[in-house]
Amino acid sequence: MGKRKLLVMGLDSAPPELVFEEFRDELPNLRHLMDNGVYARMRSCDPPITIPAWMVMVTGKNPGKLGLYGFRHRKGYSYTDGWIANSLSVKEEKIWDILSMAGMKVCVLGVPPSYPPTPVNGELISCFITPDSNRQYTHPPELKQEIEALVGPYPFDVEFRTDQRDELLKNLYDMTEKHFRVIEHLLTTRHWDFFMFVDIGLDRVHHAFWKYFDKGHPKHVQGNPYENVIIDYYRWLDEHVGRLLKAVDEDTIVVVVSDHGVKGMRGAFCINQWLIREGYLVLKEKPQSVIDLDKAAVDWSQTKAWAWGGYYARVFFNVKGREPDGIIEATDLDHERDQLTKRLNEISDPSGRRMETKVYKPEALYPVSVGDRPDLMVYFDDLFWRSAGTLGHTEMYLSENDTGPDDAVHSEYGVFVLHDKRLRTTGQIQDVSILDVAPTLLQEMNLAVPPSMEGKPIQLS
């Protein structure tokens, strides 16, 4: 078999419920790939969030091995210091690194986290964590000038947690249109063997407009002016997919993937308020307004545990010999975690229904868990409820996100679609794992799968 070409289209947060079912007939180009290829629901990693999920996908390594548990991480055992994940945080080889070393040409655009840009055998444009277009965001560096001659200042993201929905929508289309102009430009002007991009716009339209679309969302209003925003964006995105399909030959293997899915947010649970009530977190004085935990007057000499908010909660314990003012004996940590887990599992929602909460110890999720990991990972009500880490709220349950307007949360299943004219069978296959993507892509490129990868090539026929 000769050398293959592989195009990977990443649609951040695309859920199987929409792509495979509800919107299928509205998306002729994606439907063509499914009808003439294989497709499956894909189980994301834990936690199912953008960082680390894309890196799990392209390395075949779990978040514990990568040491990536979210966008931001606690710095060592500090109470207040943290760090934001970027490309330099990823020490494991990515699929494009392996292909580059094999002499293949690659193009990589917008795969998180890819800022600052790192060398590849080809071209790379960094992702949405890039601060702005004044930074160096390409490899090679001179590619930046070529891009800006094509589209002007390159936009990396939009402010999606805003009430200015019309302005957001305009900015969203403008950003995505420019991204696809650059994608199509590189797709047609460069020699490449492997081409991968991620559209972050889909994730942003979900977070900003989900309540307008989802009739089951607690804040949905029938007949609202934004009811069709999400389906319209999907149709528009599918048109761009069609343009890219016309730009590649029929021998090109085409893969469509998402890092996780999406579902409506029911609310945010104030985890630190709850820890205060339960006696785990002790303050020297009550906040007079809503504030971040690192601005609160915490009495660390009396505090046993505290938490970070987000799509899931990260809980940390105050351990003697580990934290500066630790009060829990190291030998008691497992007992304390078990006791808190039991109490977390008993939490009910505002109606009195017990939440379907899942609490994990990182070492139980991952064979190896390195880096600045939390002591517990908490998914409130199967991730339908966010975790609010801020303090000073008058209620334990918030109907809105505490860090800005947000209608959606993440679900554990994304999409996997693979179109290859050499496939002997087509149609939906059984669920696959995000860990299996990199091994599958390497196999499609006729390269050996490194034994260090945890996933296995997906059975395609």
pLDDT in 10s for each residue of the chain, 461 residues: 457 899 999 999 999 999 999 999 999 999 999 999 999 999 999 999 999 999 999 999 999 999 999 999 999 999 999 999 999 999 999 999 999 999 999 999 999 999 999 999 999 999 999 999 999 999 999 999 999 999 999 999 999 999 999 999 999 999 999 999 999 999 999 999 999 999 999 999 999 999 999 999 999 999 999 999 999 999 999 999 999 999 999 999 999 999 999 999 999 999 999 999 999 999 999 999 999 999 999 999 999 999 999 999 999 999 999 999 999 999 999 999 999 999 999 999 999 999 999 999 999 999 999 999 999 999 999 999 999 999 999 999 999 898 888 999 999 999 999 999 999 889 999 999 999 999 999 999 999 999 999 999 999 87
Residue 403's pLDDT is what?
85
Any domain includes 456: no
For residue 1, is it within any domain? no
Q: What CATH number is associated with residue 234? A: 3.40.720.10
Residue 293 lies in a domain: yes
**Within a domain: residue 364?**
yes
Q: Please state the pTM of the whole predicted model.
A: 0.96
Q: CA nearest 194: which of 59, 55, 4, 2?
A: 4
User: Is residue 452 in a domain?
Assistant: no
Note the pLDDT of residue 154: 98
Residue type, 346: E
pLDDT at 404: 85
Q: Is residue 396 part of a domain?
A: yes
For residues 346 and 419, state if they share a domain. no
Sign of CA pseudo-dihedral 108, 109, 114, 117? positive
- Please tell me the predicted confidence (pLDDT) of residue 460: 87
CA angle 89, 92, 96 (to 5 degrees): 105
Query: How far from each other are the two terminal CA atoms of the chain, in whole angstroms?
Result: 17
pLDDT for res 2: 56
The pLDDT, as a whole number, for residue 39 is 98
Domain co-membership, 97 together with 234:
yes
Asked if residue 208 and residue 103 are part of one domain, the reply reads yes
307 with 237, same domain: the answer is: no
Structure tokens at 232: 């319209």
Tell me, what amino acid is at 451?
P
Do 322 and 230 share a structural domain?
no
- Cβ-Cβ contacts under 8 Å for 189 (sequence gap 6 or more): none
Are residue 86 and residue 204 in the same domain, yes or no? yes
Same-domain status, 178 and 241: yes
Residue-level pLDDT at 83:
96
Q: Do 175 and 246 belong together in one domain?
A: yes
> Range of 67's domain?
6-264+411-444
Residue at 459 is within a domain: no
In a domain, 457, yes or no: no
Q: Which H or E element spans position 53?
A: helix 50-59
Q: Is the dihedral of CA 95, 101, 105, 108 positive or negative?
A: positive
Rounded to an integer, what distance in angstroms lies between the CA atom of residue 231 and that of residue 242?
17
SS3 150: helix
Same structural domain for residues 340 and 423? no
213 shares its domain with 342: no
Q: Are residues 230 and 84 in the same domain?
A: yes
What is the number of structural domains in the chain? Answer: 2
Burial track 80-91 (b if 16+ CB lie within 10 A, e otherwise): eeeeebbbebbe
pLDDT confidence of residue 1: 46
Q: State whether 382 and 421 are in the same domain.
A: no
